[in-house]
Amino acid sequence: MLEFLQTHSKEAFAVVPVVLGFFINRVFRLRPKIFYSVRHASNYVIDQPLLDPQGNILQQHQIIRTASIVSENAGLQTAKNVEYTFNWKPPIYTVFPGRAFSAEETEMGRWSLKLDSLGPGEVFGIEIMSINQDLPLISAMRSDDVPGKLINMIPQRQMPSWFNGAALALLCLGLITLLYLVALLVEWLAV
């Protein structure tokens, strides 16, 4: 094996930049990457009775349900014709940031909210609310180029910028050390 590596080491290492270039191109190619998540969902019990038109109490308490859906284009290219599909139209909804969108109901009773585009790094949110009704689930998100990917979100502590800079410096130092050790190993194997 060692003799094979010594004989063909130049050819073997000539393939490494090609393979590495292929993977770098796959990772960093220009395309949108859209993600969405339900940031929070809450139920609020309101101590106000629900009354019919004659004043009779239908329910002792009312329930307000809310949910927040957030999406982001984490890619390097603008996502065109972004569409959010819900099981049905939410009774009350708003979008943030306020921008132009279109909404329509499909033949199957689903409800779609459409944006012309979602730029790189752009975040878009949909807040939905209902009173004494269930909220619709978001069933899909898509664009012309890629489907949206559902991700889980959790609250996370924001670290100070000096901490993030120190962590990045240590990661770079570790990468440089690893590359140096690999070069030493290759040199040792070649001898």
pLDDT in tens, the chain (191 residues): 567 666 766 776 777 777 887 777 776 667 889 999 998 889 999 888 888 888 888 888 899 999 999 999 998 899 999 999 999 999 999 999 988 999 999 888 899 999 999 999 999 999 999 999 999 989 999 999 899 999 988 778 889 999 999 999 999 999 999 999 998 888 888 77
User: CA-to-CA distance for 172 and 42, rounded, in angstroms?
Assistant: 42
User: CA-to-CA distance for 149 and 141, rounded, in angstroms?
Assistant: 8
User: Which tokens hold the place of 16?
Assistant: 């490494």
Residues 6+ apart with CB under 8 A from 58: 49, 50, 51, 52
CATH 1.10.287 fits 34-150, yes or no: no
Return the domain boundaries, the chain. Answer: 1-30, 34-150
**Which is nearest to 116 in space by CA: 85, 145, 79?**
79
pTM over 0.85: no
